[in-house]
Amino acid sequence: MAAIFYAGDSTVKFNKIATYPQTGISQAMLWYLKDTVEMKSFAQNGRSTKSFLDEGRLSSIEKEMKQGDFLFIQFGHNDEKDDPERHTDPETTFPENLLRFIEVARSKGAYPVLITPIARRLFNDKGVFLPGSHGAFPEAMIKTGKRAEVPVINLTHITEKYLAFVGDLASKAYFMWPGDNTHLKPEGAVLMAGFLCQELKKLGSPYSDLLEDGIPLIENVGLDVS
């Protein structure tokens, strides 16, 4: 049985009833995965690549991961924060940390996948979506993926286009609004996981082999996010 080890932050975390209705992408992905695929979410609230590594969470993944598994690596929300426990530089320490994740996956015979952070739900007073909330971090991840020859799924780009498309009012249903434009409700997590799984499907085998058949194309809901 193949397993997905998911490293990330609160937007990814597998939540419990105490934080309902907050839902993470790793949780919603279960709807899309074959029954033979196991989800092992190591994502935790507030983690950056730095704090995830410093706390030994990647080491815990390394102990369990085996040949043929997958390591999904999704960070950025907290790497960008002005906090010495979490902050990384998109030109230096952030890509260096990402390479450490990639090296661990490859040392175990697993498949690493880099995933840029989902967009924050930010609109101005005229209802116009404001992109770029993650600064240079998504592009830093894309460059790292090219350098390391690792697939990169650009969820930042996809979710920015989608939020701009559906608008201020409709997008509130996907997030823990009011007051929270970052974390997802179940509807939002299922949507974002769907975007991710469509991109996995485009990558072909072995990534598409994780998925149930019949995942609808985004074009079928009126938006081309390519």
- In this predicted structure, what is the pLDDT of residue 224? 56
Between CA 101 and CA 42 the distance in angstroms is 13
Can you list the alpha helix ranges (DSSP code H) found in the chain? 25-28, 49-54, 57-64, 93-107, 137-148, 155-171, 186-203
Distance, CA of 66 to CA of 104 (rounded, Å): 11
pLDDT tens-digit readout, 164-185: 999 999 999 999 999 999 999 9
Residue 57, domain member (yes or no): yes
Is residue 196 within 8 Å of 155, Cβ to Cβ? yes
Rounded CA separation 20/28 (Å): 13
- CB within 8 Å of 215: residues ≥ 6 apart: 32, 194, 197, 198, 201
Does position 223 have pLDDT exceeding 60, yes or no? Answer: no
Type of residue at 106: R
The alpha carbon dihedral of 2, 137, 57, 47 has a sign of negative
Full domain range(s) for residue 102: 3-221
Residues facing 38 on adjacent strands: 3
The model's pLDDT over 62-89, given as tens digits with 9 standing for 90+, comes to 999 999 999 999 999 999 999 999 999 9
pLDDT at 154 (0 to 100)? 97
Query: How many distinct structural domains can be found in the chain?
Result: 1
Q: Tokens at residue 187, please?
A: 């509807």
Mean pLDDT of the chain: 94
Query: pTM for this one?
Result: 0.94
Position 98 in a domain: yes
Which one-letter amino acid corresponds to residue 159?
T
The 10s digit of each residue's pLDDT in 17-47 is 999 999 999 999 999 999 999 999 999 999 9
Q: Residue 107 and residue 132: Cα distance in Å, rounded?
A: 34
CATH number at 109 reads 3.40.50.1110
Write out the DSSP string of 94-156.
Answer: HHHHHHHHHHHHHHTT-EEEEEPPPPP--B-TTS-B---TTTTHHHHHHHHHHHHT--EE-HH
* Angle in degrees, CA 95, 100, 102, rounded to 5: 90
DSSP bridge pairs for 71:
5, 112
CB 10 within 8 A of CB 189: no
Give me the residues paired with residue 113 across strands.
72
Q: Is residue 201 part of a domain?
A: yes
Residue 75, both tokens: 């960070």
226 belongs to a structural domain:
no
The helix/strand/coil state of 191 is helix
